[in-house]
């Protein structure tokens, strides 16, 4: 028993040293640190909000769930998902405060999982997390050009869409995000600009759609009458339809992976997480109300390939130019999200490479020299 006391004291001292460090990434001596810490609470929140993009996601994602419940699904589902997002943000913030690390979830699994299975579980968590970020990037890169060509079809009904057009648009957006992510100093400015632009866009959409629409839906249609043409029972359809409100609060962990690029991550990352959810809730719910109050009927939304564009078009009394102007603002914000998503997935991959999780990890874990100062993965 006497021999155990010194070892316990040493372990306690080691834990104290770790909890006093700015980031848990310094645990391993071969881990390269970022040369600078350009992010603040607000710019980190800008990255997080540009990715979750709650209000814009609701606008773009109407088609995926509106037939599974209609307006009540989006209203009550949004409130439900917002409460869950608060719980998720608190949990992530607690872990980020105790164990700040650019690897995020896979690192926490490595620390907290049982010793017998921690390596396997940590590796799976890291791979799945990175793959999820890549798939998120791909989905947004595909959604934006698809919407652009829907806008073209509105003004040119004889337009014939070809798959190669979507592929070109996909790659153009990827190259654009790649260019911005090559320069570390640019990212805080981009995140701040996108934050301001998105909030302004949501405000413009909310005010203009409500002011311009010639008729409003009744409170009963908005809050009571479920619109379910899926073939499922109302309960099952509602649960499936929560996919759209849930998507509006997805990817909250993006801010966690900036632990090596923000001063005092133990305090600043939890703050950024909670502000992201708060801002998303404050902008998302008004947009839900504005869209469904202004829509002539749910049937029109369901029958349209681009519901948001159809709502704008009807709200402005078939004014195509006004509808396209609003949809363009939404698209710019959605395209901006791809920059943040690339930052998110590259930081996961960079941290994973530092822990030798990828082939060619020696190269992938390095920081590029100035003027780039970003991981080679960018």
pLDDT digits 0-9 by tens, 195-254: 999 999 999 999 999 998 888 888 888 898 888 888 888 889 999 999 889 989 988 999
**118-168 pLDDT, tens per residue?**
999 999 999 999 999 999 999 899 989 988 998 898 888 888 888 899 999
Domain that holds residue 253: 42-351
The total number of structural domains in the chain stands at 1
> If you average pLDDT over every residue of the chain, what do you get?
84
Q: Specify if 22 maps to a domain.
A: no
Beta bridge partners of residue 227, listed in sequence order: 69
Q: What pTM value is reported for the model? A: 0.84
DSSP 222-290: HHT--EE-SSS-HHHHHHHHTHHHHHTT--GGGGGGGTTSSSSHHHHHHHHHHHHHHHHHHHHHHHHHH
Q: Specify if 4 maps to a domain.
A: no
Could you tell me the CATH number of the domain that includes residue 61?
Answer: 1.20.1740.10
Q: Specify if 334 maps to a domain.
A: yes
Q: Specify if 24 maps to a domain.
A: no
**277-314 pLDDT, tens per residue?**
999 999 999 999 999 998 888 888 888 878 888 899 88
Q: Specify if 269 maps to a domain.
A: yes
Distance between alpha carbon 256 and the CA centroid of its chain, in Å?
12
Q: Specify if 367 maps to a domain.
A: no
Q: Specify if 7 maps to a domain.
A: no
Q: Specify if 2 maps to a domain.
A: no
The C-alpha atoms of residue 327 and residue 310 are separated, in whole angstroms, by: 10
Proportion of the chain above pLDDT 70, given as a percent: 87
Q: Are 306 and 63 within 8 A, CB to CB?
A: yes
- When pLDDT is cut at 50, 70 and 90, the band that residue 12 belongs to is very low
**322-358 pLDDT, tens per residue?**
999 999 999 999 999 999 999 999 889 888 888 888 8
């Amino acid at each position: 028993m006497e021999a155990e006391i010194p070892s316990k004291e040493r372990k306690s001292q080691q834990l104290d040293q770790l909890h006093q460090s700015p980031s848990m990434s310094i645990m391993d001596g071969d881990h390269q640190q970022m040369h600078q810490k350009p992010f603040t609470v607000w710019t980190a929140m800008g990255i997080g909000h540009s990715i979750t993009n709650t209000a814009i996601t609701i606008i773009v994602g109407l088609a995926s769930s509106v037939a599974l419940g209609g307006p009540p699904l989006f209203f009550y589902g949004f409130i439900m998902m917002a409460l869950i997002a608060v719980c998720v943000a608190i949990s992530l913030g607690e872990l980020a405060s105790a164990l700040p690390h650019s690897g995020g979830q896979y690192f926490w699994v490595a620390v907290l999982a049982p010793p017998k299975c921690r390596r396997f579980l940590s590796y799976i968590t890291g791979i799945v997390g990175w793959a999820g970020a890549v798939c998120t990037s791909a989905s947004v890169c595909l959604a934006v050009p698809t919407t652009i060509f829907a806008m073209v079809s509105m003004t040119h009904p004889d337009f014939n869409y070809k798959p190669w057009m979507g592929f070109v648009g996909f790659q153009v957006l990827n190259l654009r995000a790649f260019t911005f992510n090559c320069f570390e100093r640019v990212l805080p400015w981009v995140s701040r600009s996108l934050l301001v632009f998105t909030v302004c866009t949501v405000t413009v959409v909310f005010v203009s759609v409500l002011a311009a629409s010639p008729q409003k839906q009744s409170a009963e249609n908005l809050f009571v009458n479920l619109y379910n043409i899926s073939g499922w029972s109302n309960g099952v359809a509602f649960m499936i339809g929560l996919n759209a409100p849930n998507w509006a609060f997805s990817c909250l962990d993006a801010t966690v992976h900036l632990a090596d690029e923000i001063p005092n991550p133990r305090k600043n990352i939890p703050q950024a997480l909670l502000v992201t959810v708060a801002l998303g809730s404050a902008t998302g719910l008004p947009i839900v109300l504005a869209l469904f109050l202004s829509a002539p009927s749910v049937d029109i939304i369901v029958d349209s390939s681009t519901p948001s564009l159809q709502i704008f078009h009807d709200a402005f009394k078939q004014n195509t130019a006004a509808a396209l102007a609003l949809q363009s603002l939404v698209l710019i914000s959605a395209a901006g999200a791809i920059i943040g998503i690339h930052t998110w997935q590259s930081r996961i991959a960079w941290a994973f490479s530092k822990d030798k999780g990828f082939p060619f990890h020696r190269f992938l874990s390095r920081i590029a020299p100035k003027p780039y100062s970003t991981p080679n993965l960018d």
